[in-house]
Chains A and B, each alone.
Chain A
Amino acid sequence: MNAIETRDLRKTFGGKVAVEGLTLEVRRGEVFGFLGPNGAGKSTSVKMLLGLVYPTSGAATVLDRPLGDVHVRARIGFLPEHFRFHDWLTAAEFLRTHADLYGMPDARVPKRISELLELVGLAGHRDKKLRDFSKGMLQRIGLAQSLLNDPELVFLDEPTSGLDPLGRLLVRDIIRDQRERGATVFLNSHLLGEVEVTCDRVGFIKHGRVMAIRALRHGGDGGMELEIRASGVCDGTVVQLNRWAASVRAEGDMLKLSVPNEDAVPEIVSYLVGTGARVYSVSSRRDSLEEMFLRILGSEGGL
């Protein structure tokens, strides 16, 4: 079951392509990181999924409903990138207004507001106007707003950009709580560390296109470097290893391979042994997210 499915979602503004054919599946209950340089099309993608921006072409479903379905938004939470809110409201009034817009039952609202203010560390500021909030406090209240309705799916667009390290830890905890609750989290970010510690899978986006999707936990297909020490490996065998590996280099009795996932390891070893090679050691190293980022998106940025 997928929380989000998109097919060739495309958006152009005038002649400029913001998102070029987004094809993506986000599973229910996972924390999905959307990683890419600034201007890569992350926010536009999220806005299309929320019905704020209309795609030029392509199709998508969110929580099994087609794009533009109004009712499904009652089950979605959203923290916008620039967290600009009506700053003449107090924190409690702001949450009250948004609870009304969600159509939440009146009886539940006061308790929920208190819980959320407590959660984001703003309980002492409930009657303070948002215009007197710091950037970090605005982001916290925005985060509270995105959780008001206990959403099945939460979009967080750069949720830690205004936060200090303590605030970032809070966001991590909140994301963890959401996962434990069974919610799906779609996290837009350009901060590698944040994605690395919170996400189950990550999509790399550049120039409005998904370049790769990798799992970050539970083994899976994170992409890894393999070093094999073996003797009796002929050139033909090395060439054959390309069946499993994205790249293969032979240096003396060392073979260095980049493989997409760990499922390839036993197959490669068994193939080598089958050719008569003698395998002495196999060591694997998983790519750090930073290495993946640089390998997939390149170092020149997305602009």
Chain B
Amino acid sequence: MGMRSIAALTLHEAARRRIGLAAFIIGALFLSFHGTGLYLMVTGGPLRDMNGRIPPLILRQILTTLSLMGLYAANWLVVLMTVLTAVDTLSGEISSGTIQSLAAKPIRRWQLVMGKWAGYVVLITVFMLLLTGGVLIEDKLILGFAPNHIPAALAMMWLESLVLLAVTLRAGASLSTMTTGVVVLGMHILAFMGGWIEQFGALENSPTAVHVGITASLLMPTEAMWRKAASEFQGPIIGLAGSSPFGTTSVPSMGMVAYAAIYMLVALGSAVRRFSRRDL
């Protein structure tokens, strides 16, 4: 009961404070530009001139890259939306004191945290599905192309956001809003750097660089989930150049996926534990 009320309150807040509307407008703008860009590329460039003369494998590679560019941008939007919307849900309510009248009710602290979590999971999931769904539909309509393994790849992107949400809640249970934002986005950028180092390492045959990259992913397994998603989208045959955000010269293992899932659960458990033990 308590958890459901808090989840409903979280969704109500997103609607009332026009977070949902803002996200929808940004998403719609994003998809308009993405669709326009795709259309111009298909109709105006070498892709049109060479149509029919490009070997199928190369064509598929070009289309995959175009599709991944859109999905990559969508992924960044989801990442930022996750962190920016959830960043003050605990810390902000603690510092303003609004949490007091909630926590004095007959609900447990864990219900407060998990209620908020559930609310944000709904928001993030809907936002992600709208954006990625939009990109994939535009790919199909304009390029006549669909990447591989869509459900598995989307699941990886979803897991990335769930990890970010859990870390955001964990940080927000202890730190101020500003510090929470700095820590979570900082960790994500760290993971992002780690991903590049790992790709270069694999390309240059440097196991040390690969290990450095994997270490960064162990600290924050978010970017690794995007790269796993990218490799799923591309399928087993086409590995693109290593030095791009879609590089799959070193693909995160299923072990890393399991690690990310456990990481998320531990972060969430730790958020609940920290919030349950702190003074409000």
Residues of A near any B CB (own CB < 8 A): 13, 47, 50-54, 70-74, 76, 78, 80, 82, 84-86, 88-89, 93, 97-98, 100-103, 142, 145
Contacts and interface: CB of A to CB of B under 8 A. Distances in A.
A78 B106 contact: no
A73 B105 contact: yes
Contact of A74 (B12, B16, B102, B106): B106
A142 B102 CA distance: 12
Interface in B64-112: 96-98, 100-108
Given A89-B16, A97-B9, A102 B101 contact: no
A98 B105 contact: yes
B58 interface: no
A86 B104 contact: no
List the 4 closest A-B pairs by CB distance, nearest first: A101-B105, A74-B106, A84-B97, A73-B106
A52 B103 CA distance: 7
A89 B98 CA distance: 12
B269 interface: no
A52 B279 contact: yes
B2 A101 contact: yes
A76 to B, nearest CB: 7
A255 to B, nearest CB: 51
26 contacts: A13-B279, A52-B100, A52-B104, A53-B279, A53-B280, A70-B108, A72-B106, A73-B104, A74-B106, A80-B97, A80-B101, A80-B104, A82-B97, A84-B97, A85-B98, A85-B101, A89-B16, A93-B12, A98-B105, A101-B2, A101-B5, A101-B102, A102-B105, A102-B106, A103-B1, A103-B106
Nearest to A44: B279
Interface string B263-280: 000000000000001011
Contacts of B13: 86, 88
B213 to A, nearest CB: 41
Interface string B1-24: 110011011001100110000000
A80 B100 contact: yes
Nearest to A142: B101
Contacts of B96: 84
Nearest to A103: B1
Contacts of A52: 100, 103-104, 279-280
Interface residues of B, number: 25
A114 B64 CA distance: 60
Contacts of B6: 101
Most buried by A among B8, B17, B97: B97
A145 B13 CA distance: 19
A70 B9 contact: no
B98 A84 contact: yes
Nearest to A43: B100
A268 B112 CA distance: 60
Contacts of A88: 13, 16-17
B97 to A, nearest CB: 4
A74 B106 CA distance: 5
Nearest to B17: A88
A76 B103 CA distance: 12
Given A101-B107, A103-B1, A78 B101 contact: yes
Nearest to B277: A54
A89 B9 CA distance: 10
B104 A54 contact: no
A101 to B, nearest CB: 4
Given A71-B106, A73-B104, A74-B106, A47 B17 contact: no
Nearest to B18: A88
A78 B13 CA distance: 23
Nearest to B103: A52
Contacts of A145: 101
Given A70-B108, A100-B1, A101-B105, 8 more contacts: A51-B103, A70-B106, A73-B104, A80-B97, A88-B13, A100-B8, A101-B2, A102-B106
A178 B70 CA distance: 62
A101 B106 contact: yes
A295 to B, nearest CB: 33
A100 B5 contact: yes
A16 B96 CA distance: 22
A184 to B, nearest CB: 16
Contacts of B105: 73, 98, 101-102
Contacts of B279: 13, 47, 52-54
